[in-house]
């Protein structure tokens, strides 16, 4: 005997989430069965609200509500420095350090032969459209093979524009992710950045 269609539909929805296999999806569907109606409605409303209101900043690619993120709108931040990161998670990690007061640019990934991610799939062209008045670009992609490849690629392009370019990673374990690093390690990594 098969599960009823509505049950299977929900299982299928859960299975599309990252890291959720068939058994976990079934377990979650059973859990929804036990949820009261208000919670289910609130959950559904929150999902819709999330999709309607969370966007990528038109300038830097960070997540925000509205057209531009808080950081891009904050005129007290140093407009002459841009820190390039892979994902919005990295912006939150860097902000915890509290010692960085410049702007960000979020690539949404890295150049990767394995995934087939190319320059055109990333938020790169918009970086080169916002370099007026910028004195330094800090390349803070993760210290992984893909992160290094992407940093090197950007460094070559930035050199042509005569922008001072530096690379963090000093002190960060090879193959690690910036958003997992503790604040002190990130601070040291930022302070010890090297010109490339």
| Site residues (vs Zn ion, CB under 5 A) | 57, 59-60, 62, 69, 72
Which CB, 9 or 70, lies closer to Zn ion?
70
* Residue 72 beta carbon to Zn ion: minimum distance, rounded to whole angstroms: 3
* Residue 132 beta carbon to Zn ion: minimum distance, rounded to whole angstroms: 16
Which CB, 102 or 147, lies closer to Zn ion?
102
Which CB, 74 or 183, lies closer to Zn ion?
74
* Residue 49 beta carbon to Zn ion: minimum distance, rounded to whole angstroms: 21
CA pair distance 169, 178, nearest whole angstrom: 9
**Long-range contacts formed by 145-149: CB under 8 A, 24+ apart:** 146/110, 146/111, 146/112, 146/114, 147/86, 147/110, 149/110, 149/111, 149/112
Which CB, 123 or 185, lies closer to Zn ion?
123
* Residue 127 beta carbon to Zn ion: minimum distance, rounded to whole angstroms: 12
């Amino acid at each position: 005997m098969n599960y009823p269609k509505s049950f299977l539909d929900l299982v299928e929805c859960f299975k599309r989430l990252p890291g959720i296999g068939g058994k976990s999806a079934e377990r979650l569907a059973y859990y929804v069965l036990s949820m009261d109606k208000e919670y289910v409605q609130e959950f559904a409303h929150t999902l819709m609200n999330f999709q309607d209101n969370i966007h990528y900043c038109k300038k830097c690619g960070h997540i925000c509500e509205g057209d531009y993120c808080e950081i891009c709108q904050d005129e007290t931040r140093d407009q002459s420095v841009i820190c390039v990161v892979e994902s919005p998670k990295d912006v939150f990690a860097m902000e915890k350090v509290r010692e960085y007061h410049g702007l960000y640019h979020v690539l949404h990934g890295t150049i990767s032969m394995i995934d087939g991610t190319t320059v055109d799939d990333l938020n790169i062209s918009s970086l080169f459209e916002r370099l007026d008045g910028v004195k330094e670009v800090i390349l803070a992609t993760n210290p992984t093979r893909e992160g290094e490849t992407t940093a090197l690629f950007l460094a070559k392009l930035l050199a042509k524009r005569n922008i001072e370019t530096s690379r963090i990673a000093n002190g960060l374990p090879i193959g690690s992710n910036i958003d997992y690093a503790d604040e002190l390690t990130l601070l040291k990594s930022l302070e010890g950045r090297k010109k490339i």
